[in-house]
């Protein structure tokens, strides 16, 4: 019992360490941290538009509310200062013939309300600027222009955040696991991907990167070394007709980094397979990228995906997403190298190579006597 618990605890710790080491999460977010950046953070303020778009919603809404409340309060103070300098406030006891810069400003609260009405162009008609002082007219023009700029920038940022193609990527899903099995007489690594919307991704292109730690012949250790992984479907890997779920596959041949792996050793490998899908959103013509990753525990050797597309009695095609990530065990060679040697042996048998070292000697025998 103690040994069993220890093994479970060890496997749990190993799984957590592998999960922490994942560079790309299953939903496509990159797990990377930048440290000791010498460049000043002022450069992020120069590209303020991208900085605002990259912020999380809670920070964006905080900036949105703070920008409007801050500008209203700031200009409310300025309107109060104008009224104070011009002695329009009730504490100065203005005469009956006194014409204020702004009608009906009696304090800081009324100045704030007038600032709010001016910037958002509500126009209740109770408070208004008179022609008595040019300072008030200039302040009115300046606040109106600045209000339009703030309103355009913040509303544009929220609209751009909502309409980003990154959100379209959330309706593209990959299978939970990748599988390795034979397809077309070749050993392949297969992944299933589906478009949850009926609108297409135009010009889709799919590819992969295998991330692992390698040591060069010169002794240099390269962490997160990237190896290209070519994925194809039956019609190629470009311009996919992505109306129904597709099963993409990578052929494990001599040029594949999976060629020297086997069913018994794949869990001992240290790699991360990152899969990318690029395409153009049909509705907005904006490009988007979907990505996910697979670690060795998520690559199932000797399985294939269960079928999910069927045809109804009405002649419609139905996709059952309940079986989207479901796998079925199939007979599969335990390594690509063995399958390759088996094919070479069968090919040699068909060609019928002669062995020049094989000589058949026939001894002469004497005639049989009757």
pLDDT digits (tens, 9 = 90+) for 171-192: 888 999 999 998 888 899 999 9
pLDDT classification of 344: cutoffs 50, 70, 90: low
> Using CA atoms, how far apart are residues 179 and 247, in angstroms rounded to an integer?
11
- 174 in the same domain as 289: yes
What torsion do the CA atoms of 45, 50, 56, 61 make, to the nearest 10 degrees? 70
Whether residue 362 is predicted with pLDDT greater than 60 in this model: the reply is no
pLDDT classification of 357: cutoffs 50, 70, 90: low
CATH of the domain at 74: 1.10.287.70
Whether residue 366 is predicted with pLDDT greater than 80 in this model: the reply is no
Q: For residue 11, is it within any domain? A: no
Q: What percentage of the chain's residues is helix, strand, coil (to nearest 5)? A: 35, 25, 40
- 258 in the same domain as 174: yes
Q: For residue 250, is it within any domain? A: yes
With a pLDDT cut of 70, the percent of the chain lying above it is 83
Whether residue 369 is predicted with pLDDT greater than 50 in this model: the reply is no
pLDDT classification of 96: cutoffs 50, 70, 90: confident
Whether residue 365 is predicted with pLDDT greater than 90 in this model: the reply is no
Whether residue 53 is predicted with pLDDT greater than 90 in this model: the reply is no
Task: Kindly list the strands in the beta sheet with 287-294, ordered across the sheet, starting from the edge strand earlier in the chain.
Answer: 221-229, 201-215, 271-281, 287-294
Whether residue 360 is predicted with pLDDT greater than 50 in this model: the reply is no
Whether residue 348 is predicted with pLDDT greater than 70 in this model: the reply is no
Please compute, for residue 236, the number of CA atoms within 13 A of its CA located in the half-sphere on the CB side. Answer: 7
- 180 in the same domain as 297: yes
Which two tokens mark 136?
């008030």
Top pLDDT among 233 and 58 is at 58
Q: For residue 50, is it within any domain? A: no
Query: 3-state class of 135 per DSSP?
Result: helix
Mode of pairing for the β-strands spanning 186-195 and 172-174: antiparallel
Q: For residue 26, is it within any domain? A: no
Q: For residue 4, is it within any domain? A: no
Q: Do residues 205 and 230 touch, judged by C-beta distance below 8 A?
A: no
Q: For residue 94, is it within any domain? A: yes
With a pLDDT cut of 90, the percent of the chain lying above it is 28
* pLDDT score at 368: 45
pLDDT classification of 342: cutoffs 50, 70, 90: low
Tens-digit pLDDT profile for residues 104-118: 899 999 999 999 999
CATH of the domain at 321: 2.60.40.1400
Domain boundary among the residues 163, 187, 207 is at 163
- 62 in the same domain as 124: yes
- 278 in the same domain as 185: yes
Domain that holds residue 94: 55-163
* pLDDT score at 274: 93
* pLDDT score at 184: 83
| pTM beyond 0.85, yes or no | no
> Using CA atoms, how far apart are residues 87 and 81, in angstroms rounded to an integer?
9
Tens-digit pLDDT profile for residues 255-288: 888 988 888 888 888 889 999 988 888 877 788 8
Top pLDDT among 43 and 126 is at 126
Domain boundary among the residues 114, 138, 163 is at 163
- 257 in the same domain as 113: no
pLDDT classification of 121: cutoffs 50, 70, 90: confident
pLDDT classification of 303: cutoffs 50, 70, 90: very high
Top pLDDT among 227 and 357 is at 227
Whether residue 66 is predicted with pLDDT greater than 50 in this model: the reply is yes
* pLDDT score at 273: 93
How many domains, in total, are found in the chain? 2
- 249 in the same domain as 318: yes
Core vs surface per residue 306-345: b (16+ CB within 10 A) or e: eebeeeeeeeeeeeeeeebbbbeeeebbebbbebbeeeee
Q: Do residues 46 and 89 touch, judged by C-beta distance below 8 A?
A: no
- 172 in the same domain as 159: no
- 194 in the same domain as 89: no
> Using CA atoms, how far apart are residues 128 and 142, in angstroms rounded to an integer?
16
- 259 in the same domain as 154: no
Top pLDDT among 282 and 3 is at 282
* pLDDT score at 144: 92
Q: For residue 317, is it within any domain? A: yes
* pLDDT score at 215: 81
- 256 in the same domain as 152: no
Whether residue 139 is predicted with pLDDT greater than 80 in this model: the reply is yes
Domain boundary among the residues 115, 135, 163 is at 163
Q: For residue 271, is it within any domain? A: yes
Q: Do residues 148 and 118 touch, judged by C-beta distance below 8 A?
A: no
Out of 6-10, 183-187, 217-221, 291-295, give the one with best mean pLDDT.
291-295
Q: How far is CA 206 from CA 115, 165, 229, 290, in A?
A: 54, 17, 10, 9
How large is the average pLDDT for residues 361-369? 48
* pLDDT score at 178: 93
- 335 in the same domain as 257: yes
Tens-digit pLDDT profile for residues 180-225: 998 888 899 999 998 888 777 888 888 999 998 888 888 888 888 8
């Amino acid at each position: 019992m103690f040994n069993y618990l220890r093994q479970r605890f060890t496997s749990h710790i190993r799984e957590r360490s592998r999960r922490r080491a994942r560079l790309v999460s299953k939903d496509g977010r990159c797990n990377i941290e930048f440290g000791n950046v010498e460049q000043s953070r002022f450069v992020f303020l120069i590209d303020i538009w991208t900085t605002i778009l990259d912020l999380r919603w809670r920070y964006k809404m905080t900036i949105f509310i703070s920008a409007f409340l801050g500008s209203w309060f700031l200009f409310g103070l300025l309107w109060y200062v104008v009224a104070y300098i011009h002695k329009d406030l009730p504490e100065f006891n203005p005469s009956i013939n006194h014409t204020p810069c702004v009608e009906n400003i009696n304090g800081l609260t009324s100045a704030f309300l007038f600032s709010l009405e001016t910037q958002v162009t509500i126009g209740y008609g109770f408070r208004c600027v008179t022609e008595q002082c040019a300072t008030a007219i200039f302040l009115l023009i300046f606040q109106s222009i600045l209000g339009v700029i703030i309103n355009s920038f913040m509303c544009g940022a929220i609209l751009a955040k909502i309409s980003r193609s990154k959100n379209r990527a959330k309706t593209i899903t990959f299978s939970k696991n990748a599988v390795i099995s034979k397809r077309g007489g070749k050993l392949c690594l297969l992944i299933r991907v589906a478009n949850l919307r009926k609108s297409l991704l135009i010009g889709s292109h799919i590819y992969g990167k295998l991330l692992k730690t390698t040591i060069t012949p010169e002794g240099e250790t390269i962490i997160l070394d990237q190896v290209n992984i070519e994925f194809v479907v039956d019609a190629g890997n470009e311009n996919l007709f992505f109306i129904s779920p597709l099963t993409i596959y990578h052929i494990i041949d001599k040029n594949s980094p999976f060629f020297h792996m086997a069913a018994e050793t794949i869990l001992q490998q240290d790699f991360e397979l990152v899969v990318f899908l690029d395409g153009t959103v049909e509705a907005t013509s904006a490009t988007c990228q979907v990505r996910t990753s697979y670690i060795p525990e998520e690559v199932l050797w000797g399985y294939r995906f269960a079928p999910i597309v069927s045809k109804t009695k009405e002649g419609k095609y139905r996709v059952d997403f309940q079986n989207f990530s479901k796998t079925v065990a199939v007979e599969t060679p335990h390594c690509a190298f063995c399958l390759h040697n088996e094919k070479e042996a069968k090919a040699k048998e068909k060609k019928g190579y002669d062995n020049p070292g094989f000589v058949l000697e026939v001894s002469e025998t004497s005639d049989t006597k009757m």
